[in-house]
A and B are shown apart, each in its own frame.
Chain A
Amino acid sequence: MSNAVQTLDGDISIDGVAEADQYLTFIMADEEYGVDILRVQEIRGWDSATPIPNTPAYIRGVINLRGVIVPLVDLRERFGIATIDYGPTTVVIVLRVEGAEKERIMGIVVDAVSDVYNVKEGEMKPAPDFGSVGSIDFVRGLVTIDEKMIITLEIDQMLSDQEIGVAVGEE
């Protein structure tokens, strides 16, 4: 991560007001996903979580984040990717999610964190239309960096009230 921080500093001093967004990327099932770095509150190693009964399987449970109860979403489960055992690289990325009514703090459980990239405006390509294939709504766009495709995520959409079953009647 120290690498990433350096990159960040460098950009600010050199480009000044470069029209670039920064994305924190993470690995899941060999794909690289990115989230807006300004929404990332912290990254922590996977510890245990307290399961909440009668909630969807992707709600991994809740953890104590310095006195605040924070729910965790297993992103593999959420995306319908086969789950694997959590290992030493498994991390929780704690995100600030802006919901319809209020801001929430939520964590996503992913395989491993990867890097921080600058993505200039225009480098992002919209996600192709997959038709009725689900769980694609929350893809913000696709970026190619070093020949790799990075899928950037719209986390407000991905962790919206409806998606995590907050709205009445959703489970």
Chain B
Amino acid sequence: MSVDMSQFYQTFFEESVEGLDEMENCLLNLDVGQADPETVNTIFRAAHSIKGGSATFGFAEVAKFTHVMETLLDEMRSGERLVTQEAVDLLLKSVDILRAMLTATQEGQAIEMDPVTRLQSQLEALLGADASLEVKGNGSSNTSANQNKIWDIHFKPHEHLLRTGNDPARIIKELKALGELEIQVDISALPHFKDIEPSASYFSWDFQLTDAGEGKASKEAIEEIFNWVEDDCDLQIIAQENSNVDSVQANTETPTSPKSMPVETRSSEAQASSKGNPEPKTSVKTPVGKKASADSGSIRVSIDKVDALINMVGELVITQSMLGQFGETFEMDQIEKLRDGLVQLERNTRELQENVMRIRMLPISFAFQRFPRVVRDLSQQLGKQVELQLAGEQTELDKTVMEKIGDPLVHLVRNSVDHGIELPEIRKAAGKPEKGHVKLDAYHQGGNVIIEIVDDGAGINKDKVLEKAKERGLVNENDKLSDEQIFDLVFHPGFSTADVVSDVSGRGVGMDVVKRNIRELGGSILVKSEPEKGSTFTIKLPLTLAILDGQLVTVGGETYIIPLVSIIESLQVKKDQVSAIAGTAELYKLRNEYIPVVRLYDLFHCQPISENLEDGLLVVVEGDGQHIGLYVDDLQGQQQVVIKSLETNYRSVEGVSGATILGDGTVALILDITDLIKLSRTIQPGQALDRGMSHSNNQTSNASLVEQNQATNAAA
């Protein structure tokens, strides 16, 4: 019977990632020297579940690696080992490695084994170093009780013992240190030479240990020696003199290491012994054959939210049955009650919608939790002292938005630490505390989520930015720019004011990407900065990608939706403010700016109510940093619309980001402003020339034109 495990993979990966995040968090909170046992416990549990899971699903490499981590953690947990900085650093690195291993496994790629093996040996070295210390310490303490005894020890290592990094020779040496030792080797299990696997163990030993009178050879001392291998061998320790058989069946299952799990640690030691048999040391192909769908996108929802939904649906059902009753026996004098019922229905529906949307919402702490680590590593690397403050972690954000905002945030935080916060000496000289502060804050404002990254560093040097911009020809020599405009220059591709390009930042790659990513999410970013006081990056994001605030406009009898975030203003055209360059490109003078006029009907090849600019309206929109005036027939209301994909059953359409269903059940297309601007560059503007401004000779009544439109549409 075989169960298809792959269906559980996704869950395993999700849980593992959560576990890793938790481990990382706890590790960062761990106080070196005096660790909170509960925290260590949490880390241990996370590691343990990952190990268990990976072993179950056959991800042997992951299981094997986690096992070593777990051993270390187990010792910390039981208090056998102090929590040292070294150990915490190693464990943090291990979390990274594990994350990489899991990602690779999930994507069905081979795991990069080199760093894994390296780190694993480091972990083992740490474990081993202290182990021998312990053995010594304990071994000499437990003395007098069992003097002058003879111990019979049967030791049969499992085949993989050598691969776990243990060496029987070491054990024998240590045994010998306890007293007189007679050794018998059983080599009967040794296979024919050609079948020998160099890294496997075939021998078993029978020892007879006689205490040399120094009282060293206590049972405890012997057990200590085998402590590291007891899971990997059959072991019997029998006291001969007092003939009561004190056997230790070591091969029992301990909760920390299920024996079913293939422990195949390949330490450096074992590799040394397996020379001559060149084992494939490189990447190990993972058992996941097919590419696991990278993110099938499941979501964990708290019971509260589900309960709230059930409540609401319950109310909706009640309202519906109430209205149903009205419908059956309706008389005019009940109209008030009917209205009340409809109001209630509306409220229920709205609440239900809001709550369904909340299912997709996750607290932003999911995105924030990686930052303590980022800041810690980075400040260590740069020799800076930085304290990270997180606030508003419970602010909820759409899952999709959250996934896409992570990388830009990392970039901005790195930027703040690298460029913003100064070195301790400089800070001291400037009269600031040596420790710099970076604050990440999130809160709701209207229908938006605001994320702020505030640092108390040097601030952005306006003059330097301006100078660089002029150097690169981004700004003209004599341009007067507002502070805001200057700060906005840092988002220009390839722009960096860093004097030294470090591997952290300063190549000028990224800030433009940050801005682009945020824009793609329908958000915006704003920079404020004061010299010597620090900078603030404010990101404004829509709460969700599934709903959009839209402005309904009509062109040629069809309704389109312009996202409200891209609209700057809507205005009636004044004829004297329109000019046509070379008779083709029309420009509208809006205060101090000339903005190109784009006639939506030209882009969409439909018939407008009127081609005369004065008859319609100009909606000034912004896309990709550019302003255009979109000429439409009329503005309708504003409303929240639910975004539906055109691609599900058709394909993406230029200039259109999606569709929605209006109150009357018809479909309206949502305009993609950035795309429209691109599209407007490709069409021939020549056709706009004649009918442009000059006249309005086709002044037939609008109504008849509409009819004409519909007729054309139907026939087209």
Residue of B nearest to A97 (CB): B649
B residues near A70, Cβ cutoff 8 Å: 649
Interface size class of B (residues with CB under 8 A): 20 to 34
User: Within the complex, what minimum Cβ distance (angstroms) separates B408 from chain A?
Assistant: 29
B605 touches A54 (CB 8 A): yes
**Interface membership of A89, Cβ < 8 A:** no
A residues near B605, Cβ cutoff 8 Å: 53-54
Interface string of B661-696 (1 = CB under 8 A from A): 100011111000000000000000000000000000
B residues near A145, Cβ cutoff 8 Å: none
**Interface membership of B648, Cβ < 8 A:** yes
**Interface membership of A110, Cβ < 8 A:** no
B residues near A135, Cβ cutoff 8 Å: none
Residue of B nearest to A70 (CB): B649
A residues near B656, Cβ cutoff 8 Å: 52-53
Per a CB cutoff under 8 Å, which of A54, A57, A62, A83 touches B650?
A62
A68 touches B649 (CB 8 A): yes
A54 touches B653 (CB 8 A): yes
A residues near B604, Cβ cutoff 8 Å: 53-54
**Interface membership of A124, Cβ < 8 A:** no
**Interface membership of B603, Cβ < 8 A:** yes
B649 touches A67 (CB 8 A): no
User: Within the complex, what minimum Cβ distance (angstroms) separates B607 from chain A?
Assistant: 11
**Interface membership of A140, Cβ < 8 A:** no
Cα-based distance from A59 to B653 in the complex (angstroms): 12
Per a CB cutoff under 8 Å, which of A51, A54, A67, A166 touches B655?
A54
A64 touches B661 (CB 8 A): yes
Q: A54-B654, A57-B716 are in contact. Are A48 and B666 (CB under 8 A)?
A: yes
**Interface membership of B475, Cβ < 8 A:** no
**Interface membership of B181, Cβ < 8 A:** no
A52 touches B666 (CB 8 A): no
B649 touches A71 (CB 8 A): yes
Interface string of A90-106 (1 = CB under 8 A from B): 00000000000000111
User: Within the complex, what minimum Cβ distance (angstroms) separates A129 from chain B?
Assistant: 32
Interface size class of A (residues with CB under 8 A): 20 to 34
User: Within the complex, what minimum Cβ distance (angstroms) separates B706 from chain A?
Assistant: 14
Per a CB cutoff under 8 Å, which of A51, A68, A86 touches B558?
A51
B residues near A86, Cβ cutoff 8 Å: 714
Per a CB cutoff under 8 Å, which of A50, A57, A69 touches B649?
A69
**Interface membership of B364, Cβ < 8 A:** no
**Interface membership of A40, Cβ < 8 A:** no
B residues near A83, Cβ cutoff 8 Å: 715
**Interface membership of B646, Cβ < 8 A:** yes
Q: A50-B558, A68-B648, A104-B649 are in contact. Are A62 and B667 (CB under 8 A)?
A: yes
A69 touches B666 (CB 8 A): no
Interface string of B699-716 (1 = CB under 8 A from A): 000000000000001111
A105 touches B649 (CB 8 A): yes
**Interface membership of A144, Cβ < 8 A:** no
A166 touches B651 (CB 8 A): yes
Per a CB cutoff under 8 Å, which of B645, B650, B666 touches A164?
B650
Chain A CB count within 10 A is highest, among B651, B668, B716, for: B651
User: Within the complex, what minimum Cβ distance (angstroms) separates B657 from chain A?
Assistant: 13
Residue of A nearest to B651 (CB): A166
**Interface membership of B606, Cβ < 8 A:** yes
Residue of B nearest to A49 (CB): B667
Cα-based distance from A63 to B655 in the complex (angstroms): 19
B666 touches A50 (CB 8 A): yes
**Interface membership of A7, Cβ < 8 A:** no
B650 touches A104 (CB 8 A): yes
Residue of B nearest to A103 (CB): B649
Per a CB cutoff under 8 Å, which of B645, B651, B667 touches A50?
B667
B668 touches A53 (CB 8 A): no
B residues near A164, Cβ cutoff 8 Å: 650-651
A residues near B646, Cβ cutoff 8 Å: 52, 62, 69, 71
A67 touches B650 (CB 8 A): no
Residue of A nearest to B653 (CB): A52
B residues near A71, Cβ cutoff 8 Å: 646, 649-650
Cα-based distance from A48 to B7 in the complex (angstroms): 43
B644 touches A53 (CB 8 A): no
Cα-based distance from A29 to B646 in the complex (angstroms): 30
Residue of B nearest to A55 (CB): B653
**Interface membership of B659, Cβ < 8 A:** yes
Cα-based distance from A71 to B650 in the complex (angstroms): 6
**Interface membership of A10, Cβ < 8 A:** no
Cα-based distance from A85 to B714 in the complex (angstroms): 7
A residues near B645, Cβ cutoff 8 Å: 69
Residue of A nearest to B645 (CB): A69
User: Within the complex, what minimum Cβ distance (angstroms) separates B609 from chain A?
Assistant: 16
Which residues 44-81 in A have Cβ within 8 Å of B in the complex? 48-55, 57, 59, 61-64, 67-71
B715 touches A53 (CB 8 A): no
**Interface membership of A126, Cβ < 8 A:** no
User: Within the complex, what minimum Cβ distance (angstroms) separates B655 from chain A?
Assistant: 7
Cα-based distance from A20 to B264 in the complex (angstroms): 60
Cα-based distance from A122 to B646 in the complex (angstroms): 40
B669 touches A50 (CB 8 A): yes
A residues near B715, Cβ cutoff 8 Å: 83, 85
Q: A51-B713, A85-B714 are in contact. Are A67 and B661 (CB under 8 A)?
A: yes
Cα-based distance from A69 to B713 in the complex (angstroms): 19
B644 touches A69 (CB 8 A): yes
A62 touches B651 (CB 8 A): no
Residue of B nearest to A104 (CB): B649
Cα-based distance from A61 to B604 in the complex (angstroms): 13
Interface string of B521-534 (1 = CB under 8 A from A): 00000000000000
Cα-based distance from A70 to B716 in the complex (angstroms): 19
Residue of A nearest to B559 (CB): A50
Q: A64-B665, A104-B650 are in contact. Are A69 and B606 (CB under 8 A)?
A: no
Q: A62-B659, A64-B661, A69-B659 are in contact. Are A106 and B558 (CB under 8 A)?
A: no
B residues near A54, Cβ cutoff 8 Å: 603-605, 653-655
Which residues 9-67 in A have Cβ within 8 Å of B in the complex? 48-55, 57, 59, 61-64, 67
Q: A69-B645, A69-B667 are in contact. Are A53 and B650 (CB under 8 A)?
A: no
Cα-based distance from A69 to B670 in the complex (angstroms): 13
Interface string of B616-657 (1 = CB under 8 A from A): 000000000000000000000000000011101111011110
5 A-B pairs with C-beta separation under 8 A: A50-B659, A53-B603, A62-B659, A69-B645, A69-B650
Given contacts A54-B603, A54-B604, A85-B715, 19 further A-B contacts (CB under 8 A): A48-B666, A50-B666, A50-B667, A51-B716, A52-B646, A52-B650, A53-B605, A53-B656, A54-B655, A57-B716, A59-B650, A61-B667, A62-B646, A62-B650, A62-B667, A64-B667, A69-B644, A70-B649, A104-B649
